[in-house]
Amino acid sequence: MYVYRIMLFLVFGGYLLSPLLMSGWASPEVAWYRPFVIWGVLIALTLWLEQKRKLDER
């Protein structure tokens, strides 16, 4: 359940801060693939939490 709280925090935090993702579209300082990298990191984090949850439920 504590893992679920981390997920809730991540999702709502991400929801509020997500407009920052969009600012790089026309900005030369930011690589075009930055949103996808952040997204990939989030997926990796979720995968890690999912493994942790499996261990918790054993």
Q: From residue 1 to residue 40, what is the string marking binding to another protein with x (rule CB under 8 A)?
A: xxxx--xx-xx--xxx-xx-xxxxxx-x--xxx-xx--xx
Instruction: Tell me the C-alpha distance between 53 and 48, whole Å.
Output: 9
The tokens 């690589």 sit on which residue? 31
The answer to whether 55 contacts another protein (rule: CB under 8 A) is no
Instruction: Tell me the C-alpha distance between 30 and 28, whole Å.
Output: 5
List the structure tokens of 58.
């054993």
What residues make contact with another protein under the rule CB under 8 A? 1-4, 7-8, 10-11, 14-16, 18-19, 21-26, 28, 31-33, 35-36, 39-40, 42-43, 46-47, 50, 53, 57
